[in-house]
Amino acid sequence: MTKIGVGVIGCGVISRAYMTAMQRFPNIELRAVADMRTAPAEARGKEFGVPAMRVDQLLKRDDVEIVVNLTVPLAHTDVSRAILNAGKHVHSEKPLGVDMAEARKLMELAEQKGLRIGCAPDTFLGGGHQTARKLIDDGAIGSPVAGTAIFARPGHELWHPAPGFYYLRGGGPMLDMGPYYITDLVQLLGPIASVVGSTSRPRQERTIATGPLQGSKIPVEVSTHVAGMLEFVSGAVISVLMSFDVPKHNHTPIEIYGTAGSLLVPDPNRFGGEVMLAKTGGEWAAQPLTHAHTDGEFRSIGVAEMAAAINANRPHRASGALALHVLEAMEAFQLSSDQGRRIMLETTVERPAMLPAGRADGQID
Ligand SMILES: NC(=O)c1ccc[n+]([C@@H]2O[C@H](COP(=O)([O-])OP(=O)(O)OC[C@H]3O[C@@H](n4cnc5c(N)ncnc54)[C@H](O)[C@@H]3O)[C@@H](O)[C@H]2O)c1
């Protein structure tokens, strides 16, 4: 198998999960790491046995074909643009950009250069979500009619050592967690037609609860409670709640209700999990998982899938076009709330193809 060389820019908290999971995919190989700060890059380089260097040096390497952008949201489009300008494919952490204007420009640049953009989340490629997809496509719940998508927590300042970015432009619960839920919903139900939203910001500052900055106050610039509706082209209407203002709750992450049954979809921030189905009037029953990548961390499966797509000359699944559509939907919640009206989306996207069932972990095609 021809391995595709991968570089990583951004060696913070999430980079270890990516670099560990990359070892599970035989078609990609980590070749170099970089960060705007020397120490984190050197630490990850040492940990994973690859050279650490400056960003400009990584971008000049001939043995790196895909660069994974794990920087903070406000830096995503600048770093992704530099990657494309260096002639390399990019896979970015979510969101693709902090607003549609910058994300659209990035997509245009990739188009001009004939390069690929991939974007997190790639959790929808996990076995829990692919199993849910297969059940829906096989008609297990009839036609999807409605559902819920709920992420509601007290806030990342409780566990993240440097959570400031979660409360600045580009952060907030919708741009941070919305991508997992809305991307999964698009792969399950198809494209979104319109959005209705209502948002609030109950606290103007937060207090860091852990690490060296414990006790420091951080400003809150964005809405921390976002509620609303996603109206799909298919006619399905999903009620959405993304919040950093909920102490505790008892909802499941995603529920889909159809004309013949209901489906509980596992946490879209994880790859596996339990898929439960109830036919109308019946009881919940756990469904056997039909797809691989269920048990553990596979963050970087989107990179491996892009590498497989490059080799096979076919579209990749965790695509920039999908991320752009999801970003437009996320942005529309705030727009709708500000303007007091339903927002019709301008972008659309085809559902990424289901992965083949019955494969082993690490096997894409
Ligand atoms: N922490 C998590 O659990 C988690 C999970 C999933 C996704 N994410 C996403 O991953 C991204 C990174 O999150 P994190 O928690 O690892 O953040 P982090 O702050 O721990 O790490 C980000 C790293 O990027 C570097 N960086 C920032 N701007 C840069 C630039 N312009 N050039 C080069 N390096 C730059 C920083 O020096 C830092 O080391 C975010 O988009 C976040 O939403 C995080």
pLDDT digits (tens, 9 = 90+) for 84-115: 999 999 999 999 999 999 999 999 999 999 99
Average pLDDT, the chain: 97
Q: What is the pTM of this model?
A: 0.97
For the Cβ of 9 lying below 6 angstroms from any atom of ligand 1, the answer is yes
For the Cβ of 74 lying below 6 angstroms from any atom of ligand 1, the answer is no
For the Cβ of 203 lying below 6 angstroms from any atom of ligand 1, the answer is no
Q: Regarding the domain delimited by 4-123+298-318, which CATH topology (the fold level of the hierarchy) does it fall under? A: Rossmann fold (3.40.50)
For the Cβ of 67 lying below 6 angstroms from any atom of ligand 1, the answer is no
Q: 3-state DSSP call for residue 197? A: strand
Separation of alpha carbons 155 and 253, rounded Å: 17
Enumerate the CATH 3.40.50.720 domain ranges in the chain, comma separated: 4-123+298-318
CB atoms within 10 A of CB 151: 25
Separation of alpha carbons 116 and 96, rounded Å: 13
The pLDDT of 188-201, averaged and rounded, is: 98
Tell me if 33 sits within 8 A of 47, measured CB to CB.
no
pLDDT tens-digit map of 116-160? 999 999 999 999 999 999 999 999 999 999 999 999 999 999 999
pLDDT tens-digit map of 259-308? 999 999 999 999 999 999 999 999 999 999 999 999 899 999 999 999 99
State in Å: Cα 346 to ligand 1 middle.
29
Q: How wide is the angle at C-alpha 309 spanned by C-alphas 305 and 314, nearest 5°?
A: 140
For residue 159, the model assigns a pLDDT of 94
Sequence letter at residue 148: T
Sequence-distant (6+) residues with CB within 8 A of 310 are 4, 65, 66, 89, 116, 316
Q: Is the pLDDT of residue 331 over 80?
A: yes
Class of the CATH-defined domain 127-290+325-344: alpha beta
Nearest CA to ligand 1 atom 4: 14
For residue 2, the model assigns a pLDDT of 81
For residue 1, the model assigns a pLDDT of 74
Separation of alpha carbons 225 and 242, rounded Å: 6
For the Cβ of 242 lying below 6 angstroms from any atom of ligand 1, the answer is no
Tell me if 229 sits within 8 A of 165, measured CB to CB.
no
Enumerate the CATH 3.30.360.10 domain ranges in the chain, comma separated: 127-290+325-344
Separation of alpha carbons 231 and 191, rounded Å: 9
For residue 305, the model assigns a pLDDT of 98
